[in-house]
Structure 1
Amino acid sequence: MRNFLIAGNWKMNCGISATTELLNGIKEITTSLPKGVDGLVCPPSISLHAAANVLQGIEGLSLGAQNVHFEDNGAYTGEISTQMLNEIGCEYVILGHSERREYFGETDKIVNAKVLKSLDDDLKIVICVGESLKERKADEHKLRVRKQIQAALTAVEEKDAAKVVIAYEPIWAIGTGETATPDQAQEMHKMIRSVLEGVFSQKKAEKIRILYGGSMKPHNAEELLQQPDVDGGLIGGASLKADSFTEIIDIADQLSS
């Protein structure tokens, strides 16, 4: 019912030449993604235009940005607007990543403003939510994630539900080599879907894809993607190599058949 979405968040990696090289490496492996799998790459903003040119030769692989501002234009040094992303050819934007929240002070209110602006300008959104190790040990992880989702989706209309993707990223598993167990991932993804049912209708919530974003790699992708409410991955390090990124896509393809 839900196509897998395998998304690469490149973070602050790959300038223009490295972006072109990486995407050409993917194109050498495949020029068309499998029917049951959608792909997404999110390079740094400086590399988006170069990525858009190469992606014309890879069917089923979309382009996304890692961040966007909630205003159309103005005195916001270093920021980019939704209109700029539309002009480049972006379909998606990642919002509320834990690194944006921790290092750049993004609050739930800011994330919501970006959500509303992005949807208004017809961008699909990947909203990141997740808990710290301290919150998990204190058994506050579900409450934390529930609040983040409800805050991010405040005032979002049901007609826009189809443009929403949620990425669950246990912060304690990002870049640490640690991974939530398949059972832990499924428990949280199931809870997230129940929260979405409270925001939208059950029918809409069933169609929303929920990605796992905590160190998914080829060696653990299969057991994570086998979980009924895990609809793909927001991939970090493994998306920076053509062979490992396409291997995860192949694993998703096998599971969708």
Structure 2
Amino acid sequence: MKKILIYNWKMAPGSLKEAASLFKRTQIYADKTRTNAEIVIAPPFVYLPLFADLGGPKRGFTRIKIAAQNVFGGVGSAYTGEISPKMLKNLGVEYVIIGHSERRKYLNETDEMINGKVLAALKAGLKVVLCIGEPKRELRIKNYELRMKIAKNYIRKQLTKDLKGIHNSLIVAYEPVWAIGAGKPCYPKDAAEMIKFIKRFLSVKYQASSVKVLYGGSVDSKNIKNFVKYPEIDGVLVGGASFKKDEVEKIIMSSEKV
């Protein structure tokens, strides 16, 4: 199965010139390699009009797909500063990241808000990447099985709330919050076990037998292979390393044999 490699640029780079250079650099390396992975870039909103066009059939660059980092879940137009799913779709955006831990933590997004965004995005025909993950690592609990049980219970509740009333297919990104930006990713074996659990849960509760689940959290060129080698891990969501020029090529090259 084709893996998915998503570059989440977050709030970077700081200028259009830098962003265009980084996009071009990523495009060149994506075309150079023989990777079978689907490569997706999620730039800040202000760069979307340019990159949605560059990544589309108008310019002939179909190797890279474009994602938005967020979307509005309500109905109507009287919402200053928000972007609707329909706007993204009309722009040529294909994917949208919803529920990233940074938005949950710093912008107080609730599971109910995230559920509304997922519903709206799917209705508009966007491919949703739903981010989930436990907030802390229970290292004080020495028993591995008990530690994983606590994490799985948290994930189960989160998925149940985020996917209320949803039966469409979507992508899930498992990103343990304690691993994001920390430089210490989850152990690949633990990530694979958790993703296997997520797939099993979705299969039973939502009859979603073919859902793709990615891993996110301190992924870089040095450790990406350790994650994508597991068949249950369908790809990675790369954060900070995705907008570092020296990492762009290495990450794509590391996925070449995926």
TM over 0.5: yes
Matching of residue 101 in structure 1 with residue 100 in structure 2: no
Deviations 1:114-169 (A, max 9, x none): 11110000000000000122557563211111111122111112xx21xx110010
* Corresponding residue number in structure 2 for 1:211: 214
Give the distance between the partners of 1:136 and 1:155, measured in 2 at CA.
35
Overall identity of the aligned pairs, in %: 36
Give the distance between the partners of 1:168 and 1:254, measured in 2 at CA.
23
Give the distance between the partners of 1:122 and 1:70, measured in 2 at CA.
14
> Would you say the 8 A contact 2:35–2:255 is kept in 1?
no
Match of 1:152 among 158, 162, 165: 162
> Would you say the 8 A contact 1:6–1:248 is kept in 2?
no
Give the distance between the partners of 2:215 and 2:254, measured in 1 at CA.
15
AA aligned opposite 2:174: Y
> Would you say the 8 A contact 1:63–1:90 is kept in 2?
yes
Post-superposition shift, 1:35?
6.4
Deviations 1:165-203 (A, max 9, x none): 1001011110110111111111111111111112332xx
Q: Which has the higher helix share?
A: 1
Give the distance between the partners of 2:5 and 2:85, measured in 1 at CA.
23
> Would you say the 8 A contact 2:53–2:92 is kept in 1?
no
Match of 1:60 among 60, 63, 69: 63
Post-superposition shift, 1:75?
2.1
Gaps of at least 5 residues in structure 1 are: none
* Corresponding residue number in structure 1 for 2:11: 12
Give the distance between the partners of 1:28 and 1:220, measured in 2 at CA.
22
AA aligned opposite 2:156: R
* Corresponding residue number in structure 2 for 1:71: 74
> Would you say the 8 A contact 1:149–1:195 is kept in 2?
no
AA aligned opposite 1:186: A
Give the distance between the partners of 1:229 and 1:34, measured in 2 at CA.
22
CA RMSD of aligned residues (A): 1.9
Post-superposition shift, 1:95?
0.5
SS at match of 1:179: coil
Gaps of at least 5 residues in structure 2 are: 142-146
Give the distance between the partners of 1:21 and 1:73, measured in 2 at CA.
36
Give the distance between the partners of 2:47 and 2:20, measured in 1 at CA.
9
> Would you say the 8 A contact 1:41–1:64 is kept in 2?
yes
Matching of residue 233 in structure 1 with residue 243 in structure 2: no
Q: How many residues align?
A: 247
